[in-house]
Amino acid sequence: MSAPPDPAVLYPDAAACGSLAAALRAVAGGRLGAVPVTSSDSAPLLHASVASALPHREPLRISAWSHERRWSIRGADRFQDLPLVDGRTDDLAEVARAARAWHDGAALEDVRRAAPFVHLTGRFEVPDQDPARLTESEWQGMLREASELEYDWQEAYQALVEAAYAEPALRALYPFTSHWALRFSTTTRPGLTTVGPCLSAGGDGRYGVGRGFITADLGLFTTAREAVALAVRRLPTGLGPTALGG
């Protein structure tokens, strides 16, 4: 793969301003006002962040692509550092509109209305860090992600996530994935406490249930519902409500 071009060639506007942060202010035409916008010391043309007035939001991270002229954003919650919004665009003015809305504490839907390139991850904000709400937020993010995948096995994986969510015993646990294997925790991020079997969707349309990571030592099934039913039976007894992790 060829080396990326000089950032000053891809982003002459940022180079002329001295940084991505300054270019963002320039293209905003005063819209950002006194909003704190900073650039990376190591790569000022490629990275910037915009602080939020809401204490539970991380600064919006803005990254310029290295091989073509385009920008990506990532807006996460502060407790788990999981994205609530992301997106990519070749219009820096759109980024400025998203940054302003994120800073001002606009609702996530309103951030997208301000800048339609913004993608909602499905997670929702939980300012009080209620573990039950964080668990439901993560399930919603996982359901959204599964529905938007573009891999050959997307339908099988989506069926697995939906079948697990339909089971109250699993829905009460915090879900997480590793290499697209579905796992469960009795605590939220950032400190996960794994419990129960690991579920996986194979490229052959079968579903595995295992004690280890992406194994099928407990069984292989032709439907997601069968695999999920076994996972429920293998859960320890006496599990209490999900707790905060970390």
Q: Other C-beta atoms within 10 Å of 2: how many?
A: 5
Domain-located, residue 203: yes
Of 139 and 203, the structure prediction assigns the larger pLDDT to 139
Whether 171 shows a pLDDT value over 80: the answer reads yes
| Amino acid residing at 75 | G
Task: Clarify whether residues 14 and 115 are in a common domain.
Answer: yes
What does pLDDT average to over the chain?
95
Q: For the ranges 95-109, 133-147, 150-164, which has the lowest average pLDDT?
A: 150-164
Q: 194 has which bridge partners? A: 185
Same domain, 193 and 214: yes
| Residues 23 and 116 occupy one common structural domain | yes
86 and 180 fall within a common domain: no
Domain boundary among 90, 120, 150: 120
The one-character DSSP state at 63 is E
Domain boundary among 78, 94, 120: 120
Amino acid at position 214, single letter:
I
> Do 96 and 189 sit in the same domain of this protein?
no
Say if residue 227 is in the same domain as residue 137: yes
Same domain flag for 163 and 81:
no
Of 93, 120, 147, which residue is a domain's last? 120
Task: Please indicate, yes or no, whether residues 101 and 13 belong to a single structural domain of this protein.
Answer: yes
pLDDT at 232 over 90: yes
Query: Counting beta carbons within 10 angstroms of the beta carbon of residue 200, is it exposed (0 to 12), middle (13 to 18) or buried (19 or more)?
Result: buried
Please state the rounded mean pLDDT for residues 210-234: 93
In-domain check, residue 41: yes
pTM for the predicted model, two decimal places: 0.94
- Which secondary structure element, helix H or strand E, spans residue 155, and what is its range? helix 154-165
- Cα-trace Rg, the chain: 21
Q: What six digits make up the tokens of 24?
A: 């963002």
Same domain? For 93 and 156 the reply is no
Burial of 104 (0-12, 13-18, 19+ CB in 10 A): middle
CA dist 152 and 155 (Å) reads: 8
Same domain, 115 and 14: yes
User: Whole domain around residue 170: which residue ranges?
Assistant: 131-233
Q: Does pLDDT of 1 surpass 70?
A: no
Distance CA 85, CA 236 (A): 35
**Is residue 126 situated within a structural domain?**
no
Indicate if 114 and 63 belong to the same structural domain.
yes
Is the residue at 243 inside a domain?
A: no
User: 224 or 215: whose pLDDT is higher?
Assistant: 224
Q: Determine the average pLDDT of the residues in 49-61.
A: 98
Please check whether residue 242 is in contact with residue 187, taking contact to mean a CB–CB distance below 8 angstroms: yes
- The pLDDT-based confidence of 125 (bands split at 50, 70, 90) is very high
> Contact at 8 Å (CB) between 167 and 175?
no
Q: Same domain, yes or no, for 88 and 167?
A: no
At residue 204, the pLDDT reads 85
Average pLDDT over residues 66-90: 97
pLDDT for position 103: 98
Residue 196: inside a domain, yes or no?
yes
Overall average pLDDT of the 211-228 stretch: 91
Q: Say which residue the tokens 């803005």 belong to.
A: 62
Number of structural domains (the chain) is 2
